[in-house]
Amino acid sequence: MLKLFHIALAYLTVLGFVVRGIWALTDSPLRQQRWVRIVPHIIDTGLLVLGIVLMLSLSLSPLTGWLAAKLLGLLAYIGFGVLTMRATSKPLALAGFAGALISVGYIFAVAFTRSAWPLAA
């Protein structure tokens, strides 16, 4: 049940990020709406909290194995995401967008294969 919510929020964060990324890249005023600035934080906090609850309930260590890889991927997703939203030039924002999508793709691959090297799994 918890895992189902975690997975649902995982899809929502990507969906929300793609929409906001496109709005950022096209300078759309839609991204300035109040709820657009707030809801992603609620989704991402929920995703993180549920991930931590799952981690504790499965007695996993966040410092080893696939979960450590997933957390590194998460740091990259956050970093590239911030770059996308705050970049002062289009090419930089586009690079951030691409980096964030690759990072979150890696996180999904790690989550589904439970391997830090999903392509080798």
Using an 8 Å Cβ cutoff, are 77 and 107 in contact?
Answer: yes
- Distance of CA 27 to CAs 20, 34, 37, 90, Å? 10, 16, 15, 10
Nearer to ligand HEM by Cβ, of 22 and 112: the residue is 112
Assigned token pair, 80: 């590239």
Total residues at the site for ligand HEM (CB under 6 A)? Answer: 22
User: Is residue 112 at the binding interface for ligand HEM, with CB under 6 A as the rule?
Assistant: yes
Residues found near ligand HEM in the complex (CB under 6 A): 3, 6-7, 10, 13, 47-48, 51-52, 54-55, 58, 60, 62, 70, 74, 77, 104, 107-108, 111-112
